[in-house]
Amino acid sequence: MCVYSRFARVASRAALLGALVPWAVPVGALDLLDGDLQVHGFVSLGLVNTTDNNFFGQSDDRVSKDFSEIGINGSWRVTPDVQLSAELLSRTAGGTDDGSARLDYGLVDWTVSSSEEGRGGLRLGRVKTAYGLYNKTRDMPFTRPSIVLPQSIYFDRTRNLTVSADGAEIYLERYGEAGTLSASLALGQPQTNTEAATVALVGLNPPGHLDSKLAPDFQAIYEGAGGKYRLAFTALHLDLRYRPGYGDRLGSGRFKLTPLIFSAQYNAENWSLTSEYASRRTSVKDFGRFFYNGDATGESYYLQGTYRLAPKWEALLRYDVYYADRGDRDGEDFSAATRLPGFTRFAKDWTFGVRFDVTPQFMLRAEVHRVNGSGFLAVQDNPNARDLRQYWDNFMLLGSFRF
């Protein structure tokens, strides 16, 4: 079983890379059918080294190479009103993602009505989840401000639950002199069928699995002065049920998560300032006495500045804060109840990063994180909570190619 899945994983990655090579050779976009059919993709490899704790693989006093992203997508504009698009993604991220290829999105986008002032339409299929400013393209390194997104809001640990959903999304856009207003409402089945999604919520080696109700997702974005300022609001509601497996210590528990995100960004010619604030209401019940049941409201925010030093160089400074429970910010109550360290319930991350665009297709990045707390770390990479350290540094390097 294990050997087979490993073989399947390697084979699927090789197939994906093989599919990339012919496109990548004549560097640049590939347009067929007069540009109506486009193929694009990216390959990204990262190195991670931490002073303590593990992030994206065994990185504690070692160098982890378990962070890579390979994607290839195609889009076909069938008529001006209808576009078909799909992307295959292989992602490795330590113990949380094993690199097997999967459908990242696959959808038909139908513009139902369109005029000079705006348009409205429908997306059907596997649709990327609108969640803050960065989620829809979170795995495409060139669209991220840093090697890893601010973990307080864009958890890589629980990403599968919010990355895309199978269902429908309606959207509306208005183009006015005062700015562009867009809104979308989606209803879809989140991806709960991966082990990573289950582990993130119930812990290692779960015998059972998660089911999800259809999740509603709303987002409104206002862009003023041609995108110089962007303001967004996102509301998502997840309702998950745990189906215990054979001999399970856990009961058929229920998770309800309701993140609300407020986003603001200002873009000048050579610098940008971005801030997002998230409040996450969580309700956990019916798991039984071997689990930390209860209601809590998590809280996260970050403030991030990027500065273009030269046409090919960009620097980033960010302060990112995460609290699992704003009624217990230092985790003392949690620690008293579970005898686990309180610092597993928060994380405060100072990040400094540099980006160098060698060519428009090839980018190099370096990043340093000074972190107080282990709140966003994945249990797969850190199976024993007693081995965790409160203060740790994280150094990352990334090379990314696109076409």
Q: Which is nearer to another protein, 29 or 336 (CB)?
A: 29
Task: Kindly give, in sequence order, each residue whose CB lies less than 8 Å from that of residue 376, ignoring residues fewer than 6 positions away.
Answer: 151, 152, 155, 156, 157, 322, 347
- As a whole number of angstroms, the distance between CA 278 and CA 286 comes to 26
- As a whole number of angstroms, the distance between CA 40 and CA 28 comes to 8
Candidates 137, 258, 283, 335; binder of another protein (CB under 8 A) is: 137
Query: Is there binding between residue 23 and another protein (CB under 8 A)?
Result: no
Q: Is 119 helix (H, G, I), strand (E, B) or coil?
A: strand
The one segment of 49-57, 198-206, 295-303, 372-380 that binds another protein by CB under 8 A: 295-303
Which runs of E-coded beta strand occur in 246-386? Answer: 254-267, 271-285, 294-310, 313-323, 346-359, 362-372
Query: Is there binding between residue 258 and another protein (CB under 8 A)?
Result: no
Could you give the count of Cα atoms lying within 13 Å of 218 in the half-sphere of its Cβ? 6
CB–CB of 372/341 below 8 Å? no
Q: Which is nearer to another protein, 8 or 27 (CB)?
A: 27
Neighbours of 73 (CB within 10 A): 18
Burial class (CB in 10 A: 0-12, 13-18, 19+), 228: middle
Candidates 189, 279, 372, 390; binder of another protein (CB under 8 A) is: 279
Query: Is there binding between residue 264 and another protein (CB under 8 A)?
Result: yes
Q: How far is the CB of 46 from another protein (least distance, A)?
A: 18
Burial class (CB in 10 A: 0-12, 13-18, 19+), 148: buried
Binding residues for another protein, rule CB under 8 A, total: 59
Query: Is there binding between residue 267 and another protein (CB under 8 A)?
Result: yes
The one segment of 114-122, 147-155, 196-204, 284-292 that binds another protein by CB under 8 A: 114-122
Task: For the segment 46-75, give every residue that binds another protein (CB under 8 A).
Answer: 71, 73, 75
CB–CB of 339/331 below 8 Å? no
Q: How far is the CB of 176 from another protein (least distance, A)?
A: 6
Query: Is there binding between residue 301 and another protein (CB under 8 A)?
Result: yes
- As a whole number of angstroms, the distance between CA 263 and CA 248 comes to 41
Query: Is there binding between residue 115 and another protein (CB under 8 A)?
Result: yes
Q: Which is nearer to another protein, 335 or 361 (CB)?
A: 361
Q: Which is nearer to another protein, 247 or 311 (CB)?
A: 311
Burial class (CB in 10 A: 0-12, 13-18, 19+), 336: exposed
- Find the helix or strand (DSSP H, E) in which 232 lies: strand 229-236
CB–CB of 140/121 below 8 Å? no
Q: Which is nearer to another protein, 227 or 245 (CB)?
A: 227
Candidates 18, 26, 226, 247; binder of another protein (CB under 8 A) is: 226
Candidates 12, 81, 354, 395; binder of another protein (CB under 8 A) is: 81
Q: How far is the CB of 81 from another protein (least distance, A)?
A: 7
Query: Is there binding between residue 111 and another protein (CB under 8 A)?
Result: yes
The one segment of 10-18, 132-140, 151-159, 200-208 that binds another protein by CB under 8 A: 132-140
Neighbours of 341 (CB within 10 A): 17
Query: Is there binding between residue 327 and another protein (CB under 8 A)?
Result: no
Query: Is there binding between residue 318 and another protein (CB under 8 A)?
Result: no
Query: Is there binding between residue 128 and another protein (CB under 8 A)?
Result: yes
Candidates 55, 105, 255, 346; binder of another protein (CB under 8 A) is: 105
CB–CB of 103/389 below 8 Å? no
Task: Kindly give, in sequence order, each residue whose CB lies less than 8 Å from that of residue 308, ignoring residues fewer than 6 positions away.
Answer: 269, 270, 271, 314
Interface ranges with another protein (CB under 8 A): 29, 31, 35, 38, 40, 71, 73, 75, 77, 79-81, 83, 85-87, 105-107, 109, 111, 114-117, 119, 123, 127-128, 136-137, 140, 142-143, 173, 175-177, 180, 225-227, 229, 262, 264, 266-269, 273, 275, 277, 279, 299, 301, 303, 311, 326, 360
